Amino acid sequence: ELPPPPPPPAGGHNIAALVLGIVLILLIVGGNGLVCLSVC
């Protein structure tokens, strides 16, 4: 399992960090799904 991501810094970068985190999660979940589908 991956360690939990660090909390985003306070300021105007919260939205950017949130979007980046969501994109990373989607990429990880999508990649795992593709691997599982190709293997299974």
DSSP-derived secondary structure for 1-40:
-PPPPPPPPSSTTHHHHHHHHHHHHHHHHHHHHHHHHHH-
List pLDDT tens digits, range 1-40.
Answer: 777 777 666 666 678 888 999 999 999 999 888 888 888 7
- The pLDDT score that the predictor gives to residue 25 is 95
Please give the structure tokens belonging to residue 20: 């980046």
State how far the Cα of 34 lies from the Cα of 16, in Å rounded to an integer: 27
State how far the Cα of 6 lies from the Cα of 17, in Å rounded to an integer: 10
Q: Taking the model in full, what pTM does it have?
A: 0.51
